[in-house]
Each structure stands twice: as C-alpha cells, then as structure tokens.
Structure 1
Amino acid sequence: MRKVSLVILALGILPHLWAQQQEEANPDTSWKTQYRESAPRINDLVHTKLDVKFDYSKSYMNGKAWITLAPHFYPTDSLTLDAKGMDIQKVAIVKGGSTQTLKYKYDSWQLNINLDKTYKGGEQYTVYIEYTAKPNEVKVQGSAAITDAKGLYFINPKGEEKDKPTQIWTQGETEATSVWCPTIDKPDQKTTNEFIMTVPAKYVTLSNGKLVSSKNNADGTRTDDWKMELPHAPYLFFMGVGDYSVIKDSYKGKEVNYYVEKEYAPVAKKIFGNTPEMMGFYSRILGVEFPWVKYSQIVGRDYVSGAMENTTATLHQESAQQDARELVDGNGWESTIAHELFHQWFGDLVTCESWSNLTLNESFANYSETLWDEYKYGKDAGDAQNFGDMQGYIQSHSEKKDLVRFYYNDKEAMFDAVSYNKGGRILHMLRSYVGDSAFFKALNLYLTTNKFKSAEAHQLRLAFEEVTGKDLNWFWNQWYYGAGHPQLSIDYAYDDAAKKVQVTIKQTQAGDNAFILPIAIDIYTGAEKVRHEVWIKDKEATFFFAYDKRPDLVNVDARKTLLAEKKDNKTLENFIHQYKYAATYLDRREAIDFASKNQNDPKAQELMMLALKDKYFGLRSFAISKLDLKNDAVKKQAEPILAEIAQKDPKAPTRASALSALVQFNNGIYKSLFTKLVNDSSYTVAGTSLEALFKLDSAAAVGEAKRLVKYPAKGKLVESLTTIMIKAGSENDFDLVAKAFDNMPISQAKFNLLPTFCQYLTVVKDTEKVKKGVDMVIEFRDALAAYGLVPYVNNLLTGVVKKKEAANAPAEQIEYIKKKMESTEDKKGF
C-alpha cells in the first residue's frame, strides 16, 4: 500500500503524527508491555471459494463460502474464523456431495465452530458457510494509512449522486477482508481462492487470478468466475465491480489490464503504460520472473488510501486518473504504480508474518520507487526520490520507533514513515554496503527461499549473510531492531606543514548510543579524487589523510547514501568544488543549498547561476526556489536565465517555477508572456501564468479566469482559477467558484485552496450559498478525517464564524457552521 500522504504533500506529516497522537491520547499504556507475536497457526487455510451476489439497495453482500483448511500440526476439533459484523445463516461441514450442520458460537466478530471430529495435522476438511456481509454497519477503526476498515465498499450504489459512477471495491489490509469473507484474517496465512461474482451485466468485474468463465443470466445479470491458483494472504483478496473501460496490454504473454473510467480510456496507457517495462525490469534485477498469472490495475472512486497491492489486481485511488494536460507535467502517479507492482514480490509472493515485520512489505515497495526512477530516468532521478523519502522520515520525528516493532498500540500504527521511508533508506544503505551484485542476489535468495510463505526480518538477514559471507547482526540490530538515526557534525583542519588534513566526525544525536557507520571519504585535488573507506564506531571519530597539495575538497559520505542529518562545516569554495566535480544529485543539492545562504558573495552568486542550468530539472527548480531576488546583483544575473527557462525548459514544472520567479520582477514586459502561457498545455504552467498575470494586471487576469473556468481544468490551473475568482470576484460568482472547488478531487491543490475558499465564504451573504459552501468544506474534511485534518478545517471555519458574527450575519448561517463543525462523519475516510 502506498499512503495518500505521499500524494498530498501538505498533509504528508499528518499520517505519521496520527499514530503518535493515538498513543499519546490513549491513557491505557498496557500495550507497551504487550509483545506482538506472530499469530499462532492452529488451522491453516488451504482454499477459499466464494459465490456472492450484491444487494445494491442495502449495500449488502450475500455469500456462500467453502473454506478448506487443515490443522497446522496439532490435532484439533475446532475452528475459529474471523467474520466481522455478518449475519450467519448456516455453518456446515462438507461431506462428499452433502453437508452436515455444525454447532457454532458467533459474537459478531469471530465465528467459533465445533468440527464434526478431531482432525489430525495436515488432514484437510471443508466448512460451508452461508452469510450476509453488512459492511456499512460494521464499526472498525482504521488508521492514517488505512482510513477505515469495513473491507467492502459500495460507491453510489443507488446511482443517486449525479456524475458519480456506481462501483464496488474491497480493501483488506490489515484485517478487513473478514468483513466480507469468513477467513483466518492474519498475514501469516496463505490460501488459493475462487471468487464467483454475480453482477448487473452492464458492469465488468476484477478479482485475483484469472477469469475462467463468464455467463450471462436471464435476469440481466452476469456471473464471472475468477480463480487464483497460487496461494496468497487473505488481506490481498480483491473484488472490484463497475462500469469501466478495460485497456489491454501484455507482458511476456501474460495479461496486463488497466480498468479506468471511460473518460480516461484514451490516456490509460499514458498513465499505466510503463507497467510491462516495470515488470521486466523488476523481474531482471530480482532474478525472479513476475510470479502471477496476470496483472491488472483498477481505479476506485472514494478510495483515499493511495493504492493497494491486491495480488494480481492493484486498486488505485482516483488521483491516478489524469487527463492529457495533467500528464504534460509528468505522470504524478508513476511512483505509486511502481510501488504497488513491487509488492507483487515483496508482500504478495513473500509476506510479512506479522505486522511487526511490515518492513518486509512496505520498505521494499518504497525503495522500488528509487530503483525505478534510477533505471528509467537516471541516477539523479533515483537520488532525488531517495532524498525526498529520507526527508519525509526525518520530518516525521519518529526517532523513538524501531523499524521492526514488537510493541505498538495498534497494528495500524505500523503504517508510518518508519516502515516506509526509513526502511527504504536502510535498504539503500545496505545496497551501498554490500554492492549491487550481492544486494540483488540476496533478494533473489530471500524470495526463492520463502516464496508463497510468510517471513520475518531475520530471514532477510540470513539471505544476505549467506550471499555475502558477512555477519550482519550489527546492521540488523542497529537499523531493524533499533531506533533513530545519526546526527553528524563534520569538521576539517588542514596542516600544510605536516601535509595532513584532519577530519572529525561527531555524532550529536541524544543519548550515548553511537551508530556504526561504514562510509567513503573522497579527497579531491582538482578533478582527481582518492577514495578512503572508513568505519565510524564511536560518538566522535577522527581521521587523518596525507596530501602533497592542500585538497580542494574532502567529501564525507561520498556515496551520499547515509541516512543521517549532517552539519558539514565546509567552506563555500569546498562546496563550489563539490558541485563541479563530485557531481551526484546530493553533492550538487548540498552545494546549492549552502550557496543560497551566502548570496551576497559573488562566488555564491556564480554557483546559483550555474545551478539554474543544472542537467537535472529538479535541481534547476530547487535553485530557482532558493534565489534571493531581493539582492540586486542576483536579480540582474538571474533575470535573462529565468526568462529563457520560462519559455524553453523541456520540463513544464521547471518552466512554472521560473514563471513564479519572474512575477517578483514586477515588470510589465512579461505581461504578454503570461497572457500567452495561460493557454499552455500544462495545467501547472497555465495556472502559474494566470497568477502571474493577476499580479501585473488583475482585470486582465479575471477576464481570462472567467473565460477559462468554463472549460475543464485540474491541478494548479483550477487552484489558480478559483483563487482569482474568489479574490477579485463577488457573490455573483459563487456558482462558478463553488463548482470549481467541488469538482476538485482530493489533492494538494484542493488542500491549498481551503483557506481561500473559507475566506470567500465570509463575504457571501446568501444563507443557502453559505450552507452549500460549508457542506463542500465539511465533505473534504471528513474524507480525510483520519489524517488529522478535522482540527485544521474546524479552525478555518471558526474564523468564518467570527467574521460572520462581527458582520452581524444571520444567526442561521452561524449556527449551521457551528453544527457542522461539531459533526464528523462516522466513516472517517472512504
């Protein structure tokens, strides 16, 4: 699963704070002494067969289940299944062609069955259950990553919401499959399955495995039979139903399909079309061919948890569906597509045996994004992805959490920046330490040894030790079973008389714990470098390196793979040399960052101008964002470069960054450029240009906005359009403004617009319009309630109330807003 926090950047830290807030708010701290062991295996799932029909009017699912199991080792005469919130009509044992009713107890959570006899270890039996699943009536707490856990979701089932499709989809992780399928809902179980779904004939279906038959029925329905012949965990079961276009692709003769809403059929391959290449790339580096019979991806409305790696059938939230103009800015969902695909090996083929070991799923999927970017777009792109994820972990302030965590308040708390971001960076360090060949060979050994099974982190260690011949307990104890990361202060002292440079590295993190850090130190003289491999084992380490000529640069952590916060006390001259000759993404980024803080120095200005033309577009944008345009010398040098970037840079986001900078010149000469670019094919460039035009000529910008608001718009453009309409418009424009805001999907742009939209509501006088606007704000709030958004939005609405009160607005408006602030949707998410 890839969390929505990785999509909504402004909310990125909230999911990680969610778990911390839950633990702090809970007065019961008994969990701190409760060891979270792997679930005991008394009975093992063997095969699960379902025959289901959906009641759209009630959002129920009527099911028949045939579940084949066997005692794991010890004989048993009983079976406990997870079955949440169901109506159970019948429980029986299958005997040949007949069934024999069994006695059972059911508490609406677990189904305890007395079997017809004592079964020996490995002796298979099949139970039959008739039931009705009522997902909307089940109260199950989710998490920040998994915003609720009712398992089965009916989207607009009665077709009452205009312009919204009717869909059904399931979400099993962590243990919500048991809301719609009686099972042993634990990650250390593996089973094959067959799902038979009867649906209205106008809809298509998707499930695990392969569609083996499809039969039209006389009553206008169709029955589809999906078979999954290789075992996988119950939380990876999937059913999807809806009016989709199915775009067909292939990989080595295997089906690769993209289920999208019909509007997006023409661009489906532009969104998902790299999937076969990804499958080939991952298969090659792992030495394990894509293990499943097919791979489909489906987009679900109202799914806000990013995406979920159901075996052979990944579910994506609707943000994946981007139109052609959005894709001009780059495929914003590509990393998620890569992430979920890698799960088909790490998580699906080999599954964490407990949620404590979630790193075996999510850390790998997170790191796969770096691997893909590095392969497809070059080392700078991979390094940029890696650095961004490292910052996500550091900013989450999760230093006290182990990666493998046997003590937690709730299993959902495991889905955080440690399991994802930190774990991915630990894999990056491990790859750097053992080398690429050993790294991927060890992954191959881990996968082939544990395929179709569950595993714990020590099994990963054993695979690496077998391949490398090294004892890696120190690495696992420090990074997998320990917490935190090093904070380093690095100092240099040159002794020209002795011809030696002294490098002192201090670990300044709290506590006495010192990290063991194997790192590379490069000594540069001109373009020539000499690499020294050293180990840091103490809180303070000092190294001496001889030289004939004073080095131009001593580059600590030369590979730039270390998970650490660094205060690197180099000079500007050192950093300039680093930018020019060390040349990795992070080498250059560090140099730009240092120079940006010293822009009164002509040498720093020179570096900033050089960085504006960096070979990697991300660093060009970074340099633009760091320019001090209040400095006349910087401003004069940067202007012609920015103007050229704004018009000619091959990357739309970088052109937009340059346009934002040009606004600060307040120069009417750019009006024609801004006016021209409001029609650019890139939403980001068009939206940025419209905002730029507004600052130069607000009347012209408002005219353009009123023209453009009549046409489809997304992303930055709709944000800019709505902002300008609000700032310059009147209550007469409410319908246009409200429609634009309401049509925005859950996104960064909509989050950015919240304060402005709430400010607009303070000047709207019509009570019905105020109510309508408030309802839109509340709908967005409740969609992301589990991410900690409620206090933030309620604070904005409190500001609206205060201004309404100050303006003596009708009491009906004020009371309506207060009432809405007090209510939070029970569903908290989907």
Structure 2
Amino acid sequence: MSAAAWLATAALPVTAAEREHVCRYCSGAEHAPAGAPKERQYAPDRQVDLLHITLDVTPDFQARTVAGTATLRFAPIAKPVKSLRLDGIHLNVREVKGTHAVRDYSVDDQCVTIVFEKEIPAGEEASIDVAYSAEPAQGLFFRTSAMGFPEGDDHCWTQGEPHEARHWFPSFDYPNERASSEIIFHVPREMTVVSNGRLIGEAEEPGGLKAVHWLQEKPHANYLICVVAGRLEKLEDQHGDTPLGFYTQPSKAKYAANAFAETAEIMDFFEKEIGVPFPWEKYDQATCADYHWGGMENTTLTTLTQRTIIADEVENVRSSRSLNAHEMAHQWFGDYVTCKDWSHLWLNEGFATYYALLYEGHKLGRDDLLYGLYLDARDEIFPEHKDHRPIVYREYQQPREQFDYRNYPKGSWVLHMLRSMLGEGLYRQAIRTYLERHALQDVETEDLREVFEETSGRTLDKFFDQWLYHGGVPELKVTSKWLAEERTAHVTIEQTQATSDDVLLFELETKLRFIVDGKPVDEPIKIDGRRHDFYVKLPAEPQIVRFDPDYTVLARVEFDLDDKQLEAQLGNQADVIGRLQACEGLAKRKTAASVKLLRQALNADPFWGVRAAAAAALRRIRTTDAIAALVESTDQPDARVRNRVVEEIGKCYADAAHAKLLEVVKREQNPAIVATALRGLGKYQGQASIAAARAALDDKSFNNDLVAAAFAAIGDLQARSLSDEVMKLIKSRET
C-alpha cells in the first residue's frame, strides 16, 4: 500500500457512538453562495420514453478507462423526434448507429446529440448504439494495487447519484426517467462482477477475459444503475425467496459478517412495517475502497464504505445497523418510488432516515428510537435554525446542496410527526397505499399528501405547508406556575421565532403532562398563535411538568426548571426524553448537587443514551468534582458509554484526566476506546503522552484505528521527536 493510500485509510477516526454519514448526507453540506441568482430548478421535459439500456463495456484497470457500446431503446412520447440529446460528459464517441438511419451526430463536453435521417413517429420504438470510450473523472472509480491499495483487492465501482452516471455512459440522466437495464461487463476471469437485477450468465472470452451478464427487468432511475467488479469474497443468506449477498475485498473479509449479520432481520421488519414485500428479486451489498459516503442504494445492489466492516473488539462503539437499515429502506423509498426531481429529495432520504430509526426501535426498544430523533433534532436540525430554506426547495444551484439536514433528519421528523398525529395504523395504511399506487414511478410531495388525506380524512394542507414548503422550526418558550389557591397549573407557551414569507407561525397539536404523586395527568393542547395560556386543575402541585411528553413535535423548546423539578425529571424512568433534557438542564447549574445527580445517572440510569448525556453534562460543568465523577466512572458495561466517558475526559484539562487517559491506553481492550483516549492525550505535553503515541504506532489492529489516533495525537503534541518513526512507519506500509 502506498503512503498516500495508507494515510487516507488511517486518517478516519472512530468517534463516540459514531453516526454514519449515510448516502450523500453531510451535516456540513454547502449552500449556494450568498447573492447567487435564485433560478428555480425543475425536472427536464421527457422527449422520449426510455425503455431499456444495455451497456456492453470493458473496463481497463491499468488505464482506468472504459470502452464499449451503450444501446438505448426508446419511443418518442408526444411528437416525432428528429434529433436526440443524451447526457454524456467527456465521452469519446467512435460511432452511432440505430434502427432508424442516423444522419449525423455531435459530441461536446456535456452531451451527445444524434440527428436522424427522418423523424421517428410518436410511439414508435427505436434504438441506437453508441460506441464510445471514456476516462471518467466521476461515476466509475478504480482501486488497484498500482494506486496503493492492498494487493489482491483490485476492484472498480460506480456511483450514479445525483448525476455521475453520465461520466461513464451516455443516457438520459435525471430521476424522472426510468428504464430496465442490463450490463455486460468484460473482466479478467478471476474477478467477480455484481450488478442490478439477476445474473444471466458468464462466458469465457479470449485473452483471459470473461463476459458477465446482468439484467434488471423492472424499470429504475438512471442514477441507480451500478456495477462492482473485482477480486471479491461473498457471504450469502436468504430471506424468504429473496437471496441476500455481501461482497467485500479479501483484505476486509475477516469481519465482513458483522456488517451483513442483520440484513435478513431488517428486511423482515421492513416488509411487515411497510406492508409491501421486498420489491426486487435479490439484494446484494458490496464494499468499495475509498468510497465517498456511507452507502448508495442502487437497485438490488447497495454500495458501502469499507468502514462499515467493524472488528469484533470494537463491541458496539460502532455499528453497521443504521447504515444497513437506511440503505435497504431505499429499496422501497427511492428505488421502487423515486423523487421526480431533487426538490422532493426528502421522499427518498427522509423516509430512509426515519425507517432506519424505526428499525432501531424495533431492535433495541422505543427509547433508542426516541434517542435517535432527539440527536437528530439537537445535533443536526436545531444548529441550522437560522437557515430558512424549506425541505421542498427549488432554488438550489447544484443537486448536492439538497443533501443536507432538511431532507434527511428533518424529513424523518416530518414522517414521525405524521405517524404520531394519525396513529400507527392509519400511517401504515397510507404508506402502503402510496407505494402500491406509485410503484415503479416518480413521485412528488403532493402524491404523498393526497394519500394521507384520502386515508385519514384529514386536511393536511397546513401541515405540509408549514413543514415542507416553508422553512424553520417552531421556537417555543414554556413557563409553568403553580397557583396554590386555585389548585391549578398555569402553563404559558410562546412562539418566539421570527416569521416571514419563509417561516410561518406554526400550528401544533400535542399535550402537557403533569406528574402528581407519581401519577400522570395529560392535557391535550393546540398551539396556533403567538401566545397561549393553559390552566389545568390538578389534585395537588405537580412534581414534574412536561411539554410534549411523547416527543411528537419538532420544536426548539426553552423550558427552565428549578433544581427540584430537574431532580424529579431525571428520576422518572418512564420518560427517556425528559431524563435527557434534565441532563442538559443540570449541566447549566454547575452546582455540587447537580454533579451528584449526574454522577448517579452516569452510573445507574437504565438507558445508555442518558448515561452518555450525563457524561457530557459533567464535562460541561468541569469543576474538580465533575472531572472526578468522570474519572471514577469509566467502568461501564456498555462500550458506547465507556467510550463517551473517555471522550469527555479527553475534553477536560486536569492532572486526573491526563492520568486516566494514560491508564485507558494501557489497560483498555477495545481499540476504539483506546483510540479515543489517544486523541485526548494530544493536549498534554510531556514524555508520557509521547510514549503512548509512539507505542500506538506499532499497532496492527483492523482499520488502523490506533495508528490514526496516534497520528492525531502526535500532530497536536507537535512531537518532532517522532518524525523519523512516523516516516519509517509510512514507508514500511508501502508494498
């Protein structure tokens, strides 16, 4: 492995409770430049109905090129066609011929334009053969030992979304066009080829090659066409009549079963939850070296980052579950039905994000579902509260601008609110109808609204308007006062967000919950104005007052509680969101009493997420007692909590924290947690930290986690004394 390739691999950290970047989502997705013209984006007109695509091509692993023939069968839709424009970036076209005589063709950097001798009548089928070659800058990627990747792992893979397919074959490259497809890939005989649909066969050819033929019979969007070819090892399983496969490079095969393990169980859950059987004939997954994102939901073939393969020793600090579930959910939401254009991307990504959380709740319990929603709101959505772009948004310049928090976690929250508002039964009925009605078609947001209205009898225009066609989230200030003489709780709720043409005053339905002597009293409420005052008669003063106790509304809520209320809320084992919010409230107190309560939660709360939140709260307090509470609480049975405690210790700066980090590096068996401790040592100058980093350079753990952490620590320490050893290590990894 070359130094550059190895360093790229080693530079990927393992973080506490690492949350995968699925698909193309990144919380730091770029916005259009300030002052950029706001041209609205729409799906292009469909001149023809594309019926079938055949790609008969040969990749050159040394030159990193592809050459062959693309055959497109189509029929003009409404008018005769004299010329046809295909998307194709930097393609070298040698010849174009077809069933209808071709008079001429032209090629530029963006497209291939074909002119026919005569017009092709509307509705008449025709086909063209485009003989071409390409050296793709995007879309088709080669990873070989000559490039510095492990010997024996040579492979190539494709990525279509949003518009990369046009870099390696000519076609109509937009999601509002669907066609069946087939791929005939010519590769060295020792290689494996996996693609969409079913395997038709393999045939040996001269020159040590073989032709591998795959056919996808149901129509799908162009960006979902995929092929992975190379030296691959395979795991197999079955769910009902659906074969399941997992392909990975030999160097990663040892732990591949960890990433594949839950695939059948996830499919079983989705079939029951969605109410529509898995809509394709097989489901494969394939890892790709140096993959850009978490995964890509190509029809019947999900491509994945190699980082989804996790060693046993990491325990549950990292997991493939969420990524696996997210990408499989796309086989229904994104592949079976596909957003018509990128303004409706949430119909793909919001669904996949939410259904991954639903599986989390099914697998681990409802607290894990709610915790996922809580993290999405707190960490991904609320930090963007000044961004007033709506979910359904047409004023983007590039499709990649759409792959952000709005279409992933916020879209997921919209579905959660609908499910909470309508009830699980009606929600499931609507989703099943939506999929069956629009199967193998493109969809818009209004298609979903119409089905929900039809199923529930409710008018949902306002809900969709405020949550999908306008931006922002409600910002609520909640106060509570006990009126002893009236034996009444007085709760005031104010909407404080600035309203404009972009952000509305929200209409919300939820409830207040009062815990009186251990018994809940619920009061349904509706919020549709700037300020509301609610008066609720109670038998006695409540120990706990909760707004939206079932966590059904996405809102930034400011609700200050006193110490007594926070203590009661932290102790309510039936309310995981309340306990998480209590941790946040106690972190602001910075008192000895709050440290005592948080220490107790860190070591005794039944839910791991609350224990992690308590650790973060103690670090925010950062008094001597708070740091001591962290240092004395590393003996956690759940590795996620253990890792989080070490991470928070690493953010403190104290002798006790330094000593604990050194101890963790020496005694901890989980390499992910050791890596977390090593990164924390980077702020502590001195020979002890340098010695720990030096020792980690010799580690041979899977995925180079400790070496990557050592590099980070050495960089922070500016340990020039280790420069020679670092260079020696890099050179030793070259093969």
How far is 1:323 from its partner?
Answer: 2.9
From 548, 551, 562, the counterpart of 2:542: 551
Aligned-partner Cα distance in 1 for 2:657–2:62: 61
SS in 2 for 1:510: coil
State how 1:128-527 maps to structure 2 within 5 Å: 128-136=129-137, 150-156=138-144, 158=146, 165-326=153-314, 328-390=315-377, 391-397=379-385, 399-511=387-499, 513-527=504-518
> 1:203-247 CA deviation, whole Å, 9 max, x = no partner?
211111111101122311111000101110001000111211112
The answer to whether structure 1 residue 77 and structure 2 residue 82 are counterparts is: yes
How far is 1:570 from its partner?
Answer: 2.5
Aligned-partner Cα distance in 1 for 2:721–2:684: 24
For residue 711 of structure 2, what is the aligned residue in structure 1?
Answer: 722
How far is 1:86 from its partner?
Answer: 0.9
How far is 1:724 from its partner?
Answer: 5.4
From 22, 42, 47, the counterpart of 2:47: 42
The answer to whether structure 1 residue 734 and structure 2 residue 723 are counterparts is: yes
Matched residue type, 1:468: S
**Is the contact between residue 93 and residue 115 of structure 1 (CA under 8 Å) also seen in structure 2?**
no
For residue 33 of structure 2, what is the aligned residue in structure 1?
Answer: 23
For residue 610 of structure 2, what is the aligned residue in structure 1?
Answer: 619
**Is the contact between residue 205 and residue 241 of structure 1 (CA under 8 Å) also seen in structure 2?**
yes
Aligned-partner Cα distance in 1 for 2:682–2:140: 46
Measured at CA, do residues 482 and 689 of structure 1 come closer, stay the same or move farther in structure 2, by a change above 3 Å?
A: closer
**Is the contact between residue 91 and residue 134 of structure 2 (CA under 8 Å) also seen in structure 1?**
yes
For residue 92 of structure 1, what is the aligned residue in structure 2?
Answer: 97
Aligned-partner Cα distance in 2 for 1:53–1:191: 22
Matched residue type, 1:51: D
Bigger share in helix: 1
The answer to whether structure 1 residue 66 and structure 2 residue 71 are counterparts is: yes
How far is 1:694 from its partner?
Answer: 9.8
State how 1:625-640 maps to structure 2 within 5 Å: 625-627=616-618, 631=623, 638=629
Aligned-partner Cα distance in 2 for 1:449–1:297: 28
Measured at CA, do residues 203 and 60 of structure 1 come closer, stay the same or move farther in structure 2, by a change above 3 Å?
A: same
Deviates more, 1:592-601 or 1:369-378: 592-601
**Is the contact between residue 143 and residue 154 of structure 2 (CA under 8 Å) also seen in structure 1?**
yes
Matched residue type, 2:33: E
Measured at CA, do residues 610 and 106 of structure 1 come closer, stay the same or move farther in structure 2, by a change above 3 Å?
A: closer
> 1:566-616 CA deviation, whole Å, 9 max, x = no partner?
111332222222233373322111011112222425366335423431111
> 1:45-98 CA deviation, whole Å, 9 max, x = no partner?
111111101233432211212211112233433322212211112222227xxx
How far is 1:691 from its partner?
Answer: 7.2
SS in 2 for 1:597: helix
**Is the contact between residue 661 and residue 678 of structure 2 (CA under 8 Å) also seen in structure 1?**
no
Aligned-partner Cα distance in 2 for 1:727–1:611: 29
Measured at CA, do residues 274 and 360 of structure 1 come closer, stay the same or move farther in structure 2, by a change above 3 Å?
A: same
Please report the RMSD computed on the Cα atoms of aligned residues, expressed in angstroms: 3.4
From 634, 637, 662, the counterpart of 1:650: 637
**Is the contact between residue 260 and residue 268 of structure 1 (CA under 8 Å) also seen in structure 2?**
yes
> 1:339-365 CA deviation, whole Å, 9 max, x = no partner?
111111110000001111111111111
Identity %: 26
For residue 107 of structure 1, what is the aligned residue in structure 2?
Answer: 108
SS in 1 for 2:454: helix
**Is the contact between residue 180 and residue 219 of structure 2 (CA under 8 Å) also seen in structure 1?**
yes
Matched residue type, 2:406: V
From 569, 588, 592, the counterpart of 1:578: 569
**Is the contact between residue 152 and residue 250 of structure 2 (CA under 8 Å) also seen in structure 1?**
no
Deviates more, 1:153-162 or 1:500-509: 153-162
Aligned-partner Cα distance in 2 for 1:561–1:415: 24
State how 1:7-22 maps to structure 2 within 5 Å: 15=26, 18-20=29-31, 22=32
Matched residue type, 2:726: V
Measured at CA, do residues 607 and 651 of structure 1 come closer, stay the same or move farther in structure 2, by a change above 3 Å?
A: closer
How far is 1:315 from its partner?
Answer: 1.2
SS in 2 for 1:219: helix
Aligned-partner Cα distance in 2 for 1:305–1:64: 29
> 1:122-170 CA deviation, whole Å, 9 max, x = no partner?
332211221112313xxxxxxxxxxxxx212223485566658432111
Aligned-partner Cα distance in 1 for 2:479–2:117: 74
Measured at CA, do residues 619 and 739 of structure 1 come closer, stay the same or move farther in structure 2, by a change above 3 Å?
A: farther
Matched residue type, 2:361: E
| TM-score (ref. length: structure 1) | 0.79
Deviates more, 1:351-360 or 1:490-499: 490-499
Structure 2 unmatched runs, 5+: 1-11
How far is 1:709 from its partner?
Answer: 2.7
Aligned-partner Cα distance in 2 for 1:428–1:6: 29
Aligned-partner Cα distance in 2 for 1:289–1:400: 38
Aligned-partner Cα distance in 1 for 2:732–2:444: 44
Aligned length: 713
Aligned-partner Cα distance in 1 for 2:413–2:14: 16
**Is the contact between residue 56 and residue 158 of structure 1 (CA under 8 Å) also seen in structure 2?**
no
How far is 1:184 from its partner?
Answer: 0.9
| TM-score (ref. length: structure 2) | 0.89
How far is 1:253 from its partner?
Answer: 3.1
Measured at CA, do residues 200 and 612 of structure 1 come closer, stay the same or move farther in structure 2, by a change above 3 Å?
A: same
Measured at CA, do residues 316 and 739 of structure 1 come closer, stay the same or move farther in structure 2, by a change above 3 Å?
A: farther
Aligned-partner Cα distance in 2 for 1:85–1:665: 54
Aligned-partner Cα distance in 1 for 2:475–2:364: 31
How far is 1:525 from its partner?
Answer: 0.4
Answer 1 or 2: higher relative contact order, Cα 8 Å, separation at least 6: 2
**Is the contact between residue 675 and residue 693 of structure 1 (CA under 8 Å) also seen in structure 2?**
no
Aligned-partner Cα distance in 2 for 1:285–1:266: 33
From 556, 569, 585, the counterpart of 1:594: 585
Aligned-partner Cα distance in 2 for 1:733–1:708: 12
For residue 124 of structure 2, what is the aligned residue in structure 1?
Answer: 123
For residue 146 of structure 1, what is the aligned residue in structure 2?
Answer: none
Aligned-partner Cα distance in 2 for 1:455–1:231: 15
Measured at CA, do residues 206 and 679 of structure 1 come closer, stay the same or move farther in structure 2, by a change above 3 Å?
A: farther
How far is 1:479 from its partner?
Answer: 0.7
Measured at CA, do residues 111 and 727 of structure 1 come closer, stay the same or move farther in structure 2, by a change above 3 Å?
A: closer
Aligned-partner Cα distance in 1 for 2:216–2:576: 44
Matched residue type, 1:54: P
Measured at CA, do residues 635 and 471 of structure 1 come closer, stay the same or move farther in structure 2, by a change above 3 Å?
A: same
Aligned-partner Cα distance in 1 for 2:338–2:682: 53
Matched residue type, 1:134: E
> 1:733-778 CA deviation, whole Å, 9 max, x = no partner?
324334768999xxxxxxxxxxxxxxxxxxxxxxxxxxx9xxxxxx
**Is the contact between residue 209 and residue 228 of structure 1 (CA under 8 Å) also seen in structure 2?**
yes
Measured at CA, do residues 11 and 281 of structure 1 come closer, stay the same or move farther in structure 2, by a change above 3 Å?
A: closer
Structure 1 unmatched runs, 5+: 137-149, 745-771, 773-830
Matched residue type, 1:340: E
